Structure 1
Amino acid sequence: MDADRLNPVILITAASSGFGHGYARTLASYAQGGLILIDYDEATLEASADELGARGSVPERVSTLAFDVGDEERWSQAERFIRSQYGRLDWALLNASAAPASELVEWGRPRHLESVFYSLRATMRLMHDNSAGGSIIVSAPASELKAPAGSNASLMHLVDAAAKEGAHDNIRVNALLTGGGGDTPGWPELPWFRDLVRECGEHRAALERIAQLPQPVARYASADDIRRLIMMLLSDDTHATGAALVVDGGYTL
């Protein structure tokens, strides 16, 4: 599953953000056909690419494109660049943030959903002529399942519409929705757990100690868990499209 495409070309938006940069670290070693990193801040984007290079995970062909993904014209320019330099696109991971959702555009879609729309449209056009099709993951907070106040649109409406449109060209579009990420649901107040945290130095180390017991009573989502989920959704072995996978990143007992 990890390498079911030879030399994939991979595009990641918001590539210098927390989640976006994590996705870039996860996918960089697979992008043997090329890695395209997009974010609005050029300096931060270049720093993120340098950090990936220092880790030794950057493929030979890397492009950094600094622009606002809510800018339709800049997407048109990006499409022309990617088509001329890479010829195709295999995988795309689009990071949707609810942060700029306060402003509605004239057709009733919040600003961040408009950005997802432009991102989906551009990446799907790049995958359209790819004989093997492609796979797109839209990553967002789980709260994006619902339409925001004052709008009839939601992230899942866009994902579902894109999945239906892309099915003819074997382009799969799925959503990876992350939970609140809180790590204090009440159980850290237990005296025995506080003692274990003091002994181990931190919550994560304490949970790792518990997980190594013969009968573990706790687990948490690690970076490798997310990596496997990403690779599962991107893999050609996964035929699902228009689906939403909700991941709670917090610790659980």
Structure 2
Amino acid sequence: MAADLDFSNRSALITGAASGIGAATAHWLDRHGIARLVLVDRNADGLAALKLGCQVELLPGDISDPDFWSDFAGRPAFDHLVVNAGIPDAFPVAGGDMQDVFRRWRRVMAVNLDGAFLTLAAVLGAMQQAGGGSVVVTAPAAAIKAEPTTAAYAASKAALVQLARVAARESAASGVRVNAIAPGGVDTPIWDAMDFFTDMTREAGSRDAAIQAMGRMGTPLGRYASAEEIAGQIGFLLPTWPQR
């Protein structure tokens, strides 16, 4: 095992860990020797279904609720943090019922932005005091790409990019690195929550066919990435030097 991929005696917290990129990252770290994982997701059944060999603590809950994070002040510092939880929605800026679209806007912002801020606020302080650590924030390409009906999701991710920049500047002097990655199209369960994808699946005849069609339409390579490919990118950014 290469030294820079050896996570022995290390700990990590991952949000949005029950499926998709979060679950793939948990498996990636497990394969690379991580000693302890704390996995956060509101999907308790999805968390419980993960089969990992390392020490695991499962924390089902809502990352946008400050009370969820209330006990983190007394925890030992994590070596690594993956800020990954997020939810989708699709609706136009204009033309909908004002109360409904604002409710949906606030729901997306609460999870994707408020939840990320609370995650960083709860975990970064101990990392800084310990003198080192690494953070990777998942802020998809929607943060810099304008597409119809993506206002809430794209705005939440654009704000998340700037939040990561500020956290990086605040943490660098303490030996904590904060990076953000911007995946493009990735085959994850997040699509299954979108009405248009349900329609595409029905028209294409299967979920796989719908994913392949979106990949051909939307990416230069003609395919979407797998969650495992993105987990490898996250893993590349997580090692800390010098190792504690």
TM-score normalised by structure 1 residue count: 0.63
- Secondary structure at the aligned position of 2:130 is classed as coil
Residues 33 and 97 of structure 1, relative CA distance in 2, 3 Å threshold:
same
Structure 1 residues 96 and 44: CA distance shift in structure 2, 3 A: closer
Question: Is the Cα contact below 8 Å between 1:65 and 1:78 reproduced in 2?
Answer: no
1: CA distance, partners of 2:223 / 2:45 = 37
Identity %: 33
Contact 2:183 2:230 in 1 (8 A): no
CA distance in 2, matches of 1:73, 1:44: 22
Partner of 1:65: 59
The residue that corresponds to 2:235 in the other structure is 231
Within the candidate set 161, 164, 168, 1:163 is matched to: 168
Root-mean-square deviation (Å):
3.4
Within 2, Cα distance between the matches of 1:34 and 1:27? 9
> Which amino acid letter does the alignment assign opposite residue 175 of structure 1?
A
The structure with the larger Rg is: 1
Deviation at 1:23, TM superposition (A): 1.1
Aligned to 1:123: 123
Which of 82, 99, 103 lines up with 2:88 in the alignment?
99
2:201 matched residue in structure 1? none
In the superposition, relative to structure 1, how do residues 219 and 46 fare at CA in structure 2: closer, same or farther (>3 Å)? closer
Would you say the 8 A contact 2:127–2:133 is kept in 1? yes
Residues 145, 156 of structure 1: 8 Å contact kept? no
Flag structure 2 segments of 5+ consecutive residues without an equivalent: 90-102, 188-208, 210-220
The separation in 1 between residues aligned to 2:116 and 2:165, in whole angstroms, is 13
Q: Alignment partner of 1:102: what SS? A: helix
Counterpart AA for 2:18: S
Moved more, 117-126 or 158-167: 117-126
Distance of aligned partners of 1:79 and 1:31 in 2 relative to their CA distance in 1, 3 Å threshold: farther
Do the aligned partners of 1:117 and 1:158 also contact (CA within 8 Å) in 2?
yes
Structure 1: gaps (5+ residues)? 183-201, 203-216, 239-253
TM-fit CA distance, 1:94 = 1.2
State which of 165, 172, 185 in structure 2 corresponds to 1:180. 185
- Equivalent residue for 1:191? none
* Deviation, structure 1 residue 218: 9.8
Structure with greater helix share of residues: 2
**Residue 2 of structure 2 corresponds to residue 2 of structure 1:** no
Query: 1:113 maps to what in 2?
Result: 113
Take 1:224 and 1:2, find their aligned partners in 2: how far apart are those partners?
A: 16
Quick one: distance in 2 between partners of 1:14 and 1:63? 14
- Write out per-residue CA displacement over residues 87-117 of structure 1, whole angstroms, 9 at most, x where no aligned residue: 2200111114252693349xxx922211111
- Give the length in aligned residue pairs: 187
